[in-house]
Amino acid sequence: MANYYESADLARFAEVGTHNKALIDKFFEYYNMATGTDGALSKREKQLIGLAVAHTIQCPYCIDAYTTGCLESGADPAQMTEAIHVVGAVRGGASIVHGVQFLNVLERLGA
Partner 1 sequence: MELPVIATTLPEAERYHFDEALGRHGLSLAPISIDTLQVNVGKLCNQACLHCHVDASPKRTEMMDRRTAEQVIAVLEAHPAVTTLDLTGGAPELNTNFDWLVVEARRLNKHVMVRHNLTVQFDGNPQTGESKEYLPEFFARHGVEVVSSLPYYTEYFTDKQRGRGVFNKSIEAIRRLNEVGYGNPETGLVLNLVYNPVGAFLPAAQEALEADFKRMLWNSSSLVFNKLYTIINMPIHRFKESLVRHGGYEEYMNKLVTAFNPGAADGVMCRSMISVDYDGRLSDCDFNQMLDIPVEEGTPRSIFEWDFDGLMARRIVFKDHCFGCTAGAGSSCGGTTA
74 vs 78: CA distance, rounded Å: 12
Cα 50–chain centre separation: 5
Q: If we measure between CA atoms, which residue out of 111, 59, 108, 65 comes closest to residue 87?
A: 59
For position 17 contacting partner 1 by CB under 8 A, the verdict is no
For position 14 contacting partner 1 by CB under 8 A, the verdict is yes
Q: Are 87 and 56 in contact, with CB atoms under 8 Å apart?
A: yes
For position 36 contacting partner 1 by CB under 8 A, the verdict is yes
For position 78 contacting partner 1 by CB under 8 A, the verdict is yes
* The one among 16, 20, 26, 29 contacting partner 1 by CB under 8 A: 29
111 vs 105: CA distance, rounded Å: 9
For position 68 contacting partner 1 by CB under 8 A, the verdict is yes
Residues that bind partner 1 (CB under 8 A): 10-14, 28-29, 31-33, 35-36, 38, 42-44, 65-66, 68-69, 71-74, 76-78
